[in-house]
Chain A
Amino acid sequence: MIEVSDLGYTYGTGRGAVPALANINFCVPAGQTCVLIGPSGCGKTTLLYLLAGLLQPVRGEIRVGGERVTKPRQRTAIILQDYGLLPWKTVWGNAALGLALRRFSPRQQEERLRPLLAGLGLTGLEKRYPAELSGGQKQRVAIARALSLEPDILLMDEPFSALDALTREGLQQTLVAIQNQRRLTTVLVTHNIEEAVFLGQQIIVLTAAPGQIKGVLTNPGAGSQEYRFSGDFHHCCTRVRRLLQ
């Protein structure tokens, strides 16, 4: 369970201050997926950094499971769009990085990663460098690395935006399967309305900078493949689009 109350953030101070977020209040129940959508520069990435404990709020607070977030939390994983993987590490090195940093022995790393990589269809690519992977493969490595630490919260910043439509839908399905299996609480940023409606049980629409909450939609059908083709899906897309305009 993630609780955000009266959250505000400003980059810099004094004359050069850039207000990025103001008056953010929301709550994501455990196991649910919340999607953040809003115009470019409205503070979505900033909000993820705050949720991850990588930035500290200027106003308000964030609680996870009742505890205030003041630094990166052991069981929160974050996947950043372009900079998830280290170019100088192989697929294995990247996927194992979190475990290595937490001093898992090579044996333990093997035990955790082998099934994960297999499940994500990455077996055989272990020795490749990120430059030798397709966009979809890169994102799957980033997901493997995030999952290796057995998180209960997964934060993703436009994870699939650089991918073609089919790869994108494939990965969205993979993500839903993982969430159902692990009961992950997820916050995902996207620019794509269909993606927001397919994945988000809760959809938060933000205003232009400084980001404030413009609307919160509940979307209980999210996550099932049939939903994509239903009238409710299109209805929900329309509502999100209206809010964004």
Chain B
Amino acid sequence: MLESRRALSYLASILFLFGLWGLLSVWLNNPGLPGPLVALQSLSRAFWPELARHLYISTYRVLGSLALALLLAVPLGLLAGRHPSLDSFLAPLVYLLYPVPKVALLPVAMVILGIGDGTKMLVIFLVIFNQILITTRDAARKIPPPLLLSVASLGAGKVSLYRQVILPACLPAIITAGRISLGSAISVLFLSETMAGNSGLGYFILDGLFRADYGAMFAGILAMAGMGLVLYIFLNLLEYLICPWQRL
């Protein structure tokens, strides 16, 4: 009952967005912004194996860099949150580097690593690493000391405290950081794929633009939006599965 109402409200928002898009395209009356129906048709007409290949490449670039960032930033964030000495070393570094636009390093990475996956994933990684690190650290800092003491009194050592208390206490914040990072990751992905190389959805979209094939361009945009949506749903599903107590 509740589920079906939820599904309905999602459907309604999708229809609303498409309606808005349709109105805008009628109002602008410009081939650069076809209506949603035309765009969906072009998606069905688009050269599928080609589009799928780019979609696959973009997806693993985003997922790979997100996974790598989580793998490194989460343990570091947990440690920094629990050990003020480590944090007093990390905090100024993070603070100084935070406002530096990491995408500006894209050209540097291209010179050093070439125009392959490495460059793109490195820059995405650099952009989202800080977000995940800071969110995780702040969550780890906020754990009430009595929670740790009560588990320590049961005989938990350092490792058990991380496993039983610190990591689970921070999981919801980590997943939220993942969700926020996903948005940044896709933006940076698009930028990096349009700047160099000949693969990925960013390239596909730009290629459509240059060939004035607006149908293909919109097919690429829709594919990218779909990728973001699916990854977002995937993260929500992950939260549902690994943080069951959060559902209450």
A residues adjacent to B (C-beta < 8 A): 49, 52-54, 72, 74, 76-80, 82-84, 86-89, 97-98, 101-102, 129, 131-132, 145, 149
Question: Would you call B154 and A101 a contact (CB within 8 A)?
Answer: yes
Interface residues on B, range: 20 to 34
CA distance A54 to B154 in the complex (A): 11
Question: Would you call A88 and B245 a contact (CB within 8 A)?
Answer: yes
Check: B153 CB closer than 8 A to any chain A CB: yes
Q: Which 10 A-B pairs have the closest CB atoms?
A: A83-B146, A98-B154, A88-B168, A83-B147, A131-B248, A78-B153, A129-B245, A88-B245, A80-B146, A80-B150
Convert B147-178 into 0s and 1s, putting 1 for each residue whose CB lies closer than 8 angstroms to a CB of A: 10111111110001000110011010000000
Question: Would you call A87 and B245 a contact (CB within 8 A)?
Answer: yes
Quick one: which of B103-149 are within 8 Å of A by CB?
Answer: 144, 146-147, 149
* Contact with A132, one of B150, B168, B248 (Cβ below 8 angstroms): B248
* Contact with B154, one of A49, A53, A97 (Cβ below 8 angstroms): A97
Question: Would you call B243 and A72 a contact (CB within 8 A)?
Answer: no
A80-B146, A83-B146, A101-B160 known; A72-B168 Cβ under 8 A: no
Question: Would you call A97 and B164 a contact (CB within 8 A)?
Answer: yes
Sample (14) of A-B pairs whose CB atoms are under 8 Å apart: A52-B149, A72-B155, A77-B153, A78-B149, A80-B149, A86-B147, A86-B165, A89-B245, A97-B164, A101-B151, A101-B154, A101-B156, A131-B245, A145-B154
Residues of B within 8 A of A49 (CB): 149
* Contact with B243, one of A52, A84, A88 (Cβ below 8 angstroms): A88
* Contact with A129, one of B146, B147, B153, B248 (Cβ below 8 angstroms): B248
* Contact with B155, one of A79, A84, A87, A102 (Cβ below 8 angstroms): A102
Residues of B within 8 A of A83 (CB): 144, 146-147, 149-150
Question: Would you call B154 and A82 a contact (CB within 8 A)?
Answer: no
A80-B146, A101-B160, A129-B245 known; A86-B168 Cβ under 8 A: yes
Quick one: which of B200-243 are within 8 Å of A by CB?
Answer: 243
Residues of A within 8 A of B164 (CB): 86, 97, 101
